[in-house]
Amino acid sequence: MKSKKSRQTARLTKGGFKVGQDQVDLAQMVKLKVFCSRKLPSQPSSVTIIKDSANRYFLSFVVEIQAEVLSKADNSVGIDLAHIPHFLTLN
């Protein structure tokens, strides 16, 4: 009997996959039709294929992006570390 928490994963790096408009080609394996929740900001360097216990597949991509420099704000945020699960104070 399978565990409800059973999960299988595989990671492919560059050369092991190709991302197309609405599909991902996995080298030596299969072409997957995909639905993307958002557009990838750059070409991925690797992909992790995850199969959960309900036989659903998920793809997780690693992409590189430029860090965005944020402007300085006059607001401050304080966090009570002693009670972090319970409190968050915004000033």
Name the residue ranges covered by the structural domains of the chain: 1-91
Give pLDDT tens digits for 36-61. Answer: 888 888 889 999 988 888 888 888 89
What is the DSSP pairing of strand 46-51 with strand 30-33?
A: unpaired
C-alpha distance across the termini of the chain, in Å: 53
Under the banding of pLDDT at 50, 70 and 90, the label for residue 7 is: confident
What pTM, to 2 d.p., does this model score? Answer: 0.61
Give yes or no for residue 87 having a pLDDT over 80. no
Q: Beta strands 8-13 and 89-90: pairing type? A: unpaired
> Taking a C-beta distance cutoff of 8 angstroms, is the pair 62, 44 a contact?
yes
Separation CA 39–CA 55 (nearest Å): 25
